[in-house]
Structure 1
């Protein structure tokens, strides 16, 4: 029996909201609309935007959806849908009673999951991990997030924040400050901004020819053309990620590692360094763990949010 869910993906820059129908051979994603988050206007503003988008999606649906599934930035308590913590990229978002507010405004039940957890659940159920019993997912873009899914259940941890791969110790990041307040974490050197900083430090341009700030896509193009600074910056980031993924596989032993996000699209300077470093850290039993790309792209968190609503796709939840 198919069920249609309003699915929402709340990020620091945009909010995507559409309809996801589950119950067939594959999820059907339709009528998705995207609006700017405008996170700097505060948590109340973001909440009002989310509620407006959910109500609009309900009106777009042919039949009344069975509920609302949300993927949100920040640390999420999936038992009640509260946002328990959010960093400075979404000021005032922490403390939002998101699930309760959506239900009060729409009359529909609502389930909320962290955005990377939802992304991972979508990929595990319907993407790169659909044939695997367990998968480790790393989303590498402006930041780095991760999640471990086993038998279709997300590992949450005692504080609902398991999977923060970007905030584990990395030898190459010794002494480098991280946005979380610690030093020596993976994210500041292996995420997109870290690649740009390293490129500029090595003598690369801080701006593109048109005067706009340098970005990762341009650095990747320059690496492919032989730019030594670009090649070195990507290699450093790939190597750092590979070391951490190898260590994580030693601990979790997944069937497959799934990489998604903009940085995961980098060329061979990045990917070859990542693969070599992975094998250098992984113990022999896990050294052959396949590392594959995500298949759902930007739809992954919407699919995961809908799956979470229908199947309670996380570790056993109780009050």
Structure 2
């Protein structure tokens, strides 16, 4: 397989040239805040950079935020995490700009595909994949295959209700959704509320936490505990075998994941049940590799 995988995030666009399941070249750039056309231009620029003086590329795979129709490649629903993204015709526009066949799916579902084939989900049957970054995303997989559902919403967890008010609203504007308490910006906003002073972003919260700032650790721990409490209902209702956590905030490591696991075990039924909470093995490469893996069917058609 020789394809390009692209992960479109709320703050950055990451892209990689993938040859036989490994990323051999990378590029990234900031996500434009000027609407879908600017994002398409940025993606096309990243693709052109990766194709320059490289092997022939067969197809382009895109992991896109929002509820994505994988057949038409159109974004059915999106929040303001990526302004102007609702209704974006991702497949058509990027095929026109790059001249490549394009496969499109939700970004967390792309991550799930990679973790199923190459990462932490191997050996588990029914898995919830969670991405904690600019927003909070989710995807299910069964038997190593991501599950979409009839309306492509399977695994969407950002708008699950939480028993508290977030320090930063969800991308949809409400402050009682999971994304309002567990996303990277929400953790940073919670720390600012505890510590006072000028607002800081998550990397600075992480730096202060590792330097011994108890308020930074408190903000991270509280987010992890709420995430675990909310997910416990899904674990019980769907009888999940494991939870895989990735995304930018996953770099917080045990400070975030241990509270998730403790809350999950405390709330899940039956009592004394233990559901593994696993860090995404592929980390930042997962969404890019997964996007490239989306093109497998396209490459098969062109052999």
- TM-score under structure 1 normalisation? 0.83
1:129 aligns with 2:121: yes
Could you tell me how far 1:139 is from its partner in structure 2?
A: 1.1
Could you tell me how far 1:256 is from its partner in structure 2?
A: 1.9
1:267–1:222 CA distance, 2 compared to 1 (3 A): farther
Could you tell me how far 1:255 is from its partner in structure 2?
A: 2.5
CA distance in structure 2 between the aligned counterparts of 1:47 and 1:175, rounded to whole angstroms:
32
1:155–1:286 CA distance, 2 compared to 1 (3 A): farther
Superimposed CA distance per residue, residues 101-134 of structure 1 (whole angstroms, 9 cap, x where no aligned partner): 2333444321101111111211121111122233
1:31 aligns with 2:25: yes
The equivalent residue for 1:44 is 37
Decide which of 177, 181, 184 is 1:185's aligned counterpart. Answer: 177
1:258 aligns with 2:244: yes
Structure 2 spans left out of the alignment, 5+ residues: 299-303
CA distance in structure 2 between the aligned counterparts of 1:263 and 1:277, rounded to whole angstroms:
18
CA distance in structure 2 between the aligned counterparts of 1:230 and 1:107, rounded to whole angstroms:
47
CA distance in structure 1 between the aligned counterparts of 2:49 and 2:220, rounded to whole angstroms:
42
Contact (CA 8 Å) 2:167, 2:180: kept in 1 or not?
no
Contact (CA 8 Å) 2:80, 2:172: kept in 1 or not?
no
1:232-247 equivalence runs, <5 A: 232-247=218-233
The equivalent residue for 2:265 is 279
CA distance in structure 2 between the aligned counterparts of 1:55 and 1:273, rounded to whole angstroms:
42
CA distance in structure 2 between the aligned counterparts of 1:237 and 1:255, rounded to whole angstroms:
22
CA distance in structure 2 between the aligned counterparts of 1:200 and 1:17, rounded to whole angstroms:
32
The equivalent residue for 1:315 is none
Q: Max radius of gyration: which structure?
A: 1
1:206 aligns with 2:197: yes
CA distance in structure 2 between the aligned counterparts of 1:60 and 1:74, rounded to whole angstroms:
33
CA distance in structure 1 between the aligned counterparts of 2:213 and 2:166, rounded to whole angstroms:
26
1:308–1:268 CA distance, 2 compared to 1 (3 A): closer
Structure 1 spans left out of the alignment, 5+ residues: 208-212, 313-319
CA distance in structure 2 between the aligned counterparts of 1:56 and 1:177, rounded to whole angstroms:
36
Contact (CA 8 Å) 2:162, 2:226: kept in 1 or not?
yes
Decide which of 205, 217, 227 is 1:219's aligned counterpart. Answer: 205
1:292–1:93 CA distance, 2 compared to 1 (3 A): same
The equivalent residue for 2:16 is 18
Decide which of 95, 105, 128 is 1:103's aligned counterpart. Answer: 95
CA distance in structure 2 between the aligned counterparts of 1:176 and 1:54, rounded to whole angstroms:
34
Count of residues paired in the alignment? 298
The equivalent residue for 2:142 is 150
CA distance in structure 2 between the aligned counterparts of 1:4 and 1:242, rounded to whole angstroms:
38
The equivalent residue for 2:216 is 230
CA distance in structure 2 between the aligned counterparts of 1:230 and 1:15, rounded to whole angstroms:
28
Contact (CA 8 Å) 1:124, 1:130: kept in 2 or not?
yes
- TM-score under structure 2 normalisation? 0.87
Q: Secondary structure at the match of 1:306?
A: helix
